[in-house]
Structure 1
């Protein structure tokens, strides 16, 4: 469902900036350094988690100065809603994963349900090693963990840097918490 321009503006005006663009760029630099230390020389297959991971992957890849390949995985739970539902696989690169070092890149570690399913699928498909990088991690219990985390934030509904609110705001430079009345 499309947001009206008035609703879009109202949601943006009520949102609280938690992480600025400068702080996010510094976090991505730190992530790239940590990933490079661990994965340089392993020729990893980087899997962008669609659609939220597009921005994280796009900003991270130019900072990784070593041999790697890019692929993607597409599984979703939200489909424009503000709460997760059943997992739906749109694309699973089963054959490409066998025997590979895999770096999964996503926008957020929230509950971890989607990431845990992707990690399990990579393991089932024969990955030699699996690493997870997320731009944002909520301070809350997760069913899986990330190896590389950009920033940690409170457990609130967020948008920006790939995170969306009802399929909008992924392109916003910064991480913002949605106002309670918009959740």
Structure 2
């Protein structure tokens, strides 16, 4: 679904790198001396999570959960499915769930509820982008890269169809 629509860059690769470094420093400080498991929500967060964990200076374990709610459209279906769950036990561990964007909040809410049943010591969330205007729940993220208005955004792991995840900046299409 590659398109020739004009792009408006919202956050450059340098903007993103700087903010991810700041998040990594804050998370390192907050989790010093703790038993941290970072859980990346696939597929959208894999680039952000990869960059973020390299900026975290405390020992971590990395896990993955695959979810599905968008399909190939620009709007969430509202139905969140866990396609693949984590492999290891997180009971008694400190958990940080990492996602690319918090839009309606439904995905993060479902994942946090799911993981709480596994009895972690603590559970927090980190998102690269927060879109509070679209929220359908009361959920907020503990760590946020950038807060954005209600735009369909692409790049840095965020896709349009199955494309553009590899773009190193975040942009919106200009109509």
Say whether residues 1:168 and 2:166 are aligned partners: no
Cα separation, 1, equivalents of 2:74 and 2:128: 19
Cα separation, 2, equivalents of 1:60 and 1:94: 21
Q: CA deviation at 1:141?
A: 4.9
Q: Please give the residue correspondences for 1:64-75 in structure 2 after superposition, counting only pairs within 5 Å.
A: 64-75=56-67
Cα separation, 1, equivalents of 2:148 and 2:74: 18
Cα separation, 2, equivalents of 1:119 and 1:69: 18
Cα separation, 1, equivalents of 2:26 and 2:57: 12
**1:146-174 CA distance string (max 9 Å, x none):** 11111111110000111111121111111
Structure 1 stretches of 4+ moved >6 Å: none
Cα separation, 2, equivalents of 1:67 and 1:45: 9
The residue aligned with 1:81 is 73
Q: CA deviation at 1:62?
A: 1.1
Q: Is the 8 A contact 2:63 2:87 kept in 1?
A: no
Q: CA deviation at 1:9?
A: 4.5
Q: 1:31 aligns with which of 6, 17, 23?
A: 23
Cα separation, 2, equivalents of 1:146 and 1:178: 26
Greater alpha carbon shift after TM alignment, 152-161 vs 77-86: 77-86
- SS of residue paired to 2:74: coil
Greater alpha carbon shift after TM alignment, 91-100 vs 63-72: 91-100
Q: TM-score, normalised by structure 2?
A: 0.92
The residue aligned with 1:150 is 145
Q: CA deviation at 1:179?
A: 2.9
Root-mean-square deviation (CA, aligned residues, Å) is 1.5
Give structure 1 stretches of 5+ with no counterpart: none
Cα gap change, 1:103/1:141 in structure 2, threshold over 3 Å: closer, same or farther? same
